[in-house]
């Protein structure tokens, strides 16, 4: 009975995620339909010949009616084919795949660092309550814009630590360069520490915590069983939501550190009005994040058995 | 919270979101932010120019003041737009819980919540190439999802609240109950959620500036000045100090106001 309920819930989530994906495709289509003027002319510039504009219009499907274009776009999105870049004619999907893999690796690394730092801080406070003032300090970056702390530290590091940030080692994908991900981890670490700190202080006055203490559980058992386990769904939700903040702070950080990643790709495509590339970026990222949300929601019944009931 | 304190808080918020940007813009204009002065290029701060001059010899104080006014004004414009959308759509969704308006609006909220917000804004700005206020119009159109979710939950809870049941029993029409019994109560959490986004929106300007979107030169915005200042940190460190200081000051003020608003939510209605 319970397994069936969980399966039904998963199916419902999957259908909902698929509808969100369709919504993202429609939103992208709407955005790119609303390009002021002729997209092909805008992309190629005022000096391009009329034939090449007509060829590009045909390639982008602009000479077909809207419904046909939409159907064709959905079909090619299902095949992961987003056309070719206007700048140099490379296929969009592999290019985005390569560049965003770098950025997402950096992002995952940053979020992992952030989780480690914030849990370590909270554990220290758990064992030594007098260190609680550290939590107040750790909350400071939340007040500032998420970019600001990252940009400030990144530029400071680029000025004073040239040996560490050198982009010579940056051609690897994993492990990604450490300094950019450390810089990107500042804001999510702060958010995680403050939100989890608030959650834990609420848990400390919950009945289960008091009875666990009355049963004489040691501090370390309390930490893992009475605080960490009940807040696991919160941690998961925070990780997913912070990942999107981090990835897009990284677009800017990558430009500062001149790393070859999604940031530089976006910069070049924006400057050249490379519409197929921008559309691909939007749809592929929507796909990635909808999948991530779906996966995290599928984990909820495991982390929080009440959801499955 | 005492009534007089609440009125003071409302006044302080209006002063911060509406009057401060106007005053900063007027101050900036009065101090002449645009005229270049090549003889004094990159002059260090002195008693005439408290914040020094930039690489074209323009007054940094005037530019920072104008930029702060424009950035804060654009941010509060986006926030007020997002707040109205959030109250309207979140309210409708909560009011018609489980029916098609709720399903549709919740679906749109979920969609905007899953697609990374910054990416959406950057792509939309890359397509439409709007100016500063156009960019923040886009921001306002995309940022309402989180406060709308709160407003929806609030309306959902309020449908069963005793004072709403009482009003219904007294025979008030649904529109009156919506406007007078639920909207004012649901407004507080949504406004708090929106106010806390202010620093983020000022920071968004930095991000847009990196991609050459948003306001175009010579219009100064905090993002642009911050970027310019940080990229010449070795030769003219004073260029970065003033914009940094004012971003921090505005962020801390917005955060403090949001904290006070959060405290103003009556404990009896707090979740």
DSSP B122-144: HHHHHHH---HHHHHHHHHHHHT
pLDDT value of residue B247: 87
More confident residue, B228 or A299: A299
Does residue B71 surpass a pLDDT of 60?
A: yes
Strand partners, A84: A91
How much is the pLDDT for A163?
A: 52
3-state secondary structure of A91: strand
Same domain, A8 and A67: yes
The two tokens of residue A137 are 């300090």
For residue A121, name the pLDDT band (cuts at 50, 70, 90). Answer: very high
| CB pair distance less than 8 Å for A270 and B252 | no
Token output for B135: 């960019």
Residue A298 in any domain: the answer is no
Check whether residue A23 and residue A153 sit in a common domain.
no
How many other β-carbons are positioned within 10 Å of the β-carbon of residue B57?
16
Contact A285 B114 (CB under 8 A): no
CB B164 within 8 A of CB B182: yes
**Are A228 and A122 in the same domain?**
yes
In B, which residues are within 8 Å of A270 by CB distance? 122, 126, 211-213
Q: Which of A148, A288, A291 has the highest number of chain B CBs within 10 A, making it the mutation to test binding with B?
A: A148
pLDDT at position A309 over 70: no
Residue A203 located in a structural domain:
yes
Residues of B in contact with A266 (CB under 8 A): 122, 211
- Is the sign of the CA dihedral A97, A172, A243, A303 positive or negative? positive
Q: Is A268 a member of any domain?
A: no
Interface contact flag, B211 A266, Cβ < 8 Å: yes
Residue A254 shares a structural domain with residue A115: yes
| pLDDT score at A167 | 47
* Among the ranges given (A144-153, B59-68, B192-201), the one the predictor scored with the smallest mean pLDDT: A144-153
Q: What is the mean pLDDT of the segment spanning A43-52? A: 80
| Model pLDDT, residue A112 | 93
Residues A254 and A157 in one domain: yes
Q: Give the torsion sign (CA, A176, A177, A180, A184).
A: positive
Averaged confidence pLDDT in chain B: 84
pLDDT band at B119; cut points 50, 70, 90:
confident
Q: Looking at the structure, tell me whether residues A128 and A208 fall in a common domain.
A: yes
Residue A259: how many other CB atoms lie within 10 Å:
22
B265 DSSP 8-state letter: S
Choice among A165-169, A251-255, A258-262, B12-16 with the minimum mean pLDDT: A165-169
A164 in the Ramachandran plot: left (φ > 0), alpha (ψ -120 to 50) or beta? alpha
What mean pLDDT is predicted for residues A183-195?
89
> How near does any CA of chain B get to the CA of A217, in Å?
31
Query: pLDDT class for A41, splitting at 50, 70, 90?
Result: confident
**How many folded domains does chain A comprise?**
2
Interface of B with A (CB under 8 A): 107-108, 110-111, 114-120, 122-124, 126-129, 199-200, 202-204, 206-207, 210-213, 226, 230-231, 233-234, 244, 247-248, 251-252, 255
Position B62 pLDDT exceeds 90: no
* Interface confidence (ipTM) of the complex: 0.83
What average pLDDT does this structure show over B228-253? 81
A124 and A246 fall within a common domain:
yes
Token pair in block for residue B192? 């708090």
For residue range A165-187, list pLDDT tens digits in order: 444 444 555 556 777 788 888 88
Lowest mean pLDDT among A175-189, B117-131, B148-162, B175-189: A175-189
For residues A175 and A184, give the distance between their C-alpha atoms in angstroms, rounded to a whole number.
Answer: 15
A contacts of B200 (beta carbons < 8 Å): 145-146
Q: Which residues of B touch A23 (CB under 8 A)?
A: 107-108, 111
- So what's the pLDDT on residue B105? 92
- Provide the b/e sequence for B158-193 (b: ≥16 CB within 10 Å): beeeeebeebeeeeeeeeebbeebbbebbbbbbbbb
Domain check: are A257 and A115 in the same one? yes
Question: Is residue A147 located within the same domain as residue A23?
Answer: no
Residue A252 has pLDDT above 60, yes or no: yes
pLDDT in tens, A206-246: 999 999 989 988 888 888 888 888 888 889 988 988 888 88
Same domain membership, residue A209 and residue A116: yes
Question: Which pLDDT value is given to residue A169?
Answer: 45
Kindly report the nearest CA distance between residue A144 and chain B, in angstroms.
6
Same domain, A113 and A74: no
Residue A185 and residue A120 share a domain: yes
Segments forming the whole domain that contains residue A193: 109-262
pLDDT at B169: 92
- Minimal Cβ distance to B210: which of A146, A252, A293: A252
Interface test with A, best of B79, B114, B204, B252 (most A CBs within 10 A): B114
Residues of B in contact with A281 (CB under 8 A): 119, 123
- Using a CB-CB cut-off of 8 Å, the residues of chain B touching A34 are 127-128
Which residues of A fall below an 8 Å CB-CB distance to B?
16, 19-20, 23-24, 27, 31-32, 34-36, 143-148, 151-152, 155, 159, 244-245, 247-249, 251-252, 255, 266-267, 269-271, 273, 275, 278, 281-282, 285-286, 289-290, 293
Does the beta-carbon distance from A285 to B251 stay under 8 Å? no
Burial class for A92, CB neighbours closer than 10 Å (0-12, 13-18, 19+): buried
- Evaluate whether residue A305 is within a structural domain: no
Question: By percentage, how much of chain A surpasses pLDDT 90?
Answer: 12
What is the pLDDT confidence band of residue B86, given thresholds at 50, 70 and 90? very high
Is residue A263 very low, low, confident or very high in pLDDT (cuts 50, 70, 90)?
confident
Per the domain annotation, does A257 fall within a domain?
A: yes
* Chain B: residue whose CA lies nearest to A36: B128
Note the pLDDT of residue B170: 92
In a domain, A151, yes or no: yes
Could you tell me if residue A220 is inside a domain? yes
A23, part of any domain = yes
If one counts every other C-beta atom within 10 angstroms of the C-beta of residue B137, the result is 17
Candidate from A38-52, A257-271, B63-77, B111-125 with smallest mean pLDDT: A38-52
Is the bond leading into A198 cis (omega within 30 degrees of zero)?
Answer: no
- Residue B210 and residue A267: Cβ atoms within 8 Å? yes
Interface A:B, Cβ pairs < 8 A: 113
Buried b (16+ CB within 10 A) or exposed e, B95-105: beeeeeebeeb
Question: Residue B53 — φ and ψ, nearest 5°?
Answer: -125, 155
Q: CA–CA separation, A68 vs A271, rounded Å?
A: 29
CB spacing of B207 vs A248 below 8 angstroms: yes
pTM, full prediction: 0.84
Q: What is the average pLDDT across A7-33?
A: 88
Count of Cβ atoms closer than 10 Å to residue A195 Cβ: 20
| Cross-chain CB nearest to B211 (options A35, A270, A282) | A270
């Amino acid at each position: 009975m319970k397994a069936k309920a969980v399966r039904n819930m998963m199916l419902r989530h999957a259908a909902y995620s698929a509808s969100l994906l369709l919504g993202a495709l429609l939103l992208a289509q709407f955005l790119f339909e609303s390009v002021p003027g002729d997209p092909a002319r805008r992309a190629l510039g005022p000096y391009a010949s009329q034939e090449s504009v007509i060829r590009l219009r045909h390639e982008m499907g602009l000479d077909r009616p809207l419904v046909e274009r939409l159907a064709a776009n959905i079909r090619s999105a299902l095949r992961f084919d987003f056309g070719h870049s206007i700048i140099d004619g490379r296929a969009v999907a592999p290019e985005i795949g390569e560049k965003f893999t770098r950025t997402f690796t950096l992002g995952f690394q940053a979020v992992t660092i952030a989780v480690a730092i914030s849990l370590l801080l909270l554990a220290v406070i758990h064992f030594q309550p007098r260190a609680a003032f550290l939590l107040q300090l750790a909350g400071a970056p939340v007040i500032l814009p998420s970019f600001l702390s990252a940009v400030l530290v990144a530029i400071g590091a680029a000025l004073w630590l040239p040996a560490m940030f050198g982009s010579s080692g940056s051609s690897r994908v994993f492990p990604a360069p450490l300094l950019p991900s450390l810089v990107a981890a500042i804001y999510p670490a702060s958010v995680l520490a403050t939100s989890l700190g608030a959650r834990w202080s609420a848990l400390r006055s919950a009945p289960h915590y008091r009875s666990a203490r009355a049963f004489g559980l040691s501090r370390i058992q309390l930490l893992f069983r009475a605080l960490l386990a009940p807040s696991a769904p919160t941690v998961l939700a925070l990780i997913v939501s912070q990942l999107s903040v981090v990835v897009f702070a990284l677009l800017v950080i990558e430009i500062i550190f001149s790393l070859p990643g999604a940031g530089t790709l976006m910069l070049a495509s924006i400057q050249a009005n490379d519409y197929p590339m921008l559309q691909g970026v939007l749809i592929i990222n929507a796909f990635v994040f909808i999948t991530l949300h779906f996966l995290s929601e599928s984990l909820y019944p495991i982390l929080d058995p009440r959801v499955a009931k | 919270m005492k009534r007089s304190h609440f009125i003071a808080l409302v006044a302080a918020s209006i002063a911060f979101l509406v009057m401060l940007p106007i005053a900063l813009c007027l101050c900036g204009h009065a101090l002449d932010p645009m005229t270049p002065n090549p003889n004094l290029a990159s002059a260090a701060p002195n008693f005439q120019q408290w914040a020094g001059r930039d690489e074209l010899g323009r007054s940094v104080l005037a530019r920072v003041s104008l930029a702060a006014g424009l950035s804060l004004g654009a941010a509060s414009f986006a926030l007020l737009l997002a707040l109205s959308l959030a109250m309207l759509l979140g309210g409708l969704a909560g009011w018609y819980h489980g029916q098609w308006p709720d399903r549709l609006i919740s679906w749109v909220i979920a969609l905007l919540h899953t697609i990374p917000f910054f990416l959406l804004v950057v792509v939309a700005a890359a397509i439409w190439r709007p100016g500063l206020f156009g960019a923040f119009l886009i921001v306002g159109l995309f940022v309402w999802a989180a406060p709308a979710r709160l407003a929806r939950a609030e309306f959902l809870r309020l449908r069963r609240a005793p004072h709403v049941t009482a009003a219904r029993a007294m025979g008030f029409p649904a529109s009156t109950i919506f406007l007078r019994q639920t909207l004012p109560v649901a407004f507080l959490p949504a406004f708090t959620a929106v106010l806390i986004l202010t620093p983020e929106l000022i920071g968004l300007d930095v991000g847009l500036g990196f991609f050459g979107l948003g306001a175009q030169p010579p219009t100064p915005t905090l993002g642009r000045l911050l970027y310019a200042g940080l990229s010449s940190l070795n030769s003219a460190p004073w260029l970065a100090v003033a914009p940094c200081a004012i971003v921090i000051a505005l962020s801390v003020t917005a955060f403090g106001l949001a904290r006070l608003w959060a405290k103003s939510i009556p404990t009896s209605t707090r979740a």
